[in-house]
Amino acid sequence: MPRPLIRLAQLYAIGLIALTAIGCVNAHADGPLREFLKLRRSQSAPAGGTAEYSVEVGGVVRRYLVHVPASYDPARPAPLVLALHGGGGDMQHMAKDEHYGIVGKSDRAGFIVAFPNGTGAMGDKFATWNAGACCGKARDARVDDVAFVRALVADLQKRYAIDGTRVFAMGMSNGGMMSHRLACEAADLFAAIASIAGTDNTLACAPARPIPVLHIHARNDDHVLFEGGAGPGAFRDESKVTQFVSVPQTISNWVARNNCRGAAREVLAVPGARCEVHDGCTGNSRVELCVTEDGKHSWPGGGVTTLSRQQPSQAINANDVIWDFFQSVTARR
């Protein structure tokens, strides 16, 4: 037999063996090999590590990163924080500690943190969230990001011991706007939300219950203007954004939704920043606003990012303020 035909016969035999092996795996779904493959698929990030997972929502595969603190103990359910990137960003950018310091805070405080990826203009990059009136491709395609977040949390609850009473969301800019939408449409899932530099631009809001809300904003923000509107630092294509709701109106919206009574009281005053809270709200909820005098459109206490290229305010550390807020509202429940 000519040598090429011998080689072809060998390859055919190898193929038959491979197909037979696959058939055996399919025929014996509970066999050792199948169990090994199932175990490999179900393995989670180790304590102190970061892993990438995906979930399918509406026929679309959506990706996210998760970081598990070194202190994680499966016998003690951990809090979960979702950190939503800004418009034009992605999950890897948000997870970089030199930018936001969230992974470091996770390790120090002991919460699991997930970094979902929005809908990208190019693959997963230059991604946005459908937060209602904003932003970009996610809004224009009417992506159901609430469904994605719900699926993500459910996926994590299968992988890790999550304390269901301590699930939180926070976000930057368009991610902060998405946090406001989650408060409106997933108050049954989240104990509280926090938004940095992203106001409430939801199209409708009927929370299932009163929900604590923290909003942090720089007075000189040049993207999402403090008094409303899109500033010169926002997307160059105005059709990709909106005339943003103002910070005062955002707070007023949540004060009304949570039925808060009485005037706001100051809870923090340091050079360059001030925080005030509306409490006396239904269901022990509260609405807190922290304002920095500078920092523009950035994460207070963080670093200069490749997206904003602005020096964040160092008057407060957003991660510390947010985690203290999350801790305080769950202690009141």
Provide block-wise average pLDDT over 10 residues at a time, the chain (333 residues).
42 37 35 38 69 97 97 97 97 96 97 98 94 97 98 98 98 98 98 98 98 98 97 85 97 98 95 96 96 97 81 97 95 72
What integer pLDDT is reported at residue 234 of this predicted model?
A: 85
What integer pLDDT is reported at residue 41 of this predicted model?
A: 36
Query: Per-residue DSSP letters for 269-318?
Result: EETTEEEEEE-S-GGG--EEEEEESS--SS-TTS---TTT------SS-H
- Do you find a cis peptide bond into 205, omega within 30 degrees of 0? no
Question: Which H/E stretch holds residue 116?
Answer: strand 112-116
What integer pLDDT is reported at residue 306 of this predicted model?
A: 65
Q: Cβ contacts of residue 315 below 8 Å, gap of 6+?
A: 270, 271, 272, 273, 292, 293, 294, 295, 300
Residue recorded with tokens 């500690």? 97
| Separation of alpha carbons 150 and 156, rounded Å | 10
Residue 61's identity, in one-letter code, is: V
What integer pLDDT is reported at residue 18 of this predicted model?
A: 37
What integer pLDDT is reported at residue 307 of this predicted model?
A: 67
Contact 74, 161 (CB under 8 A): yes
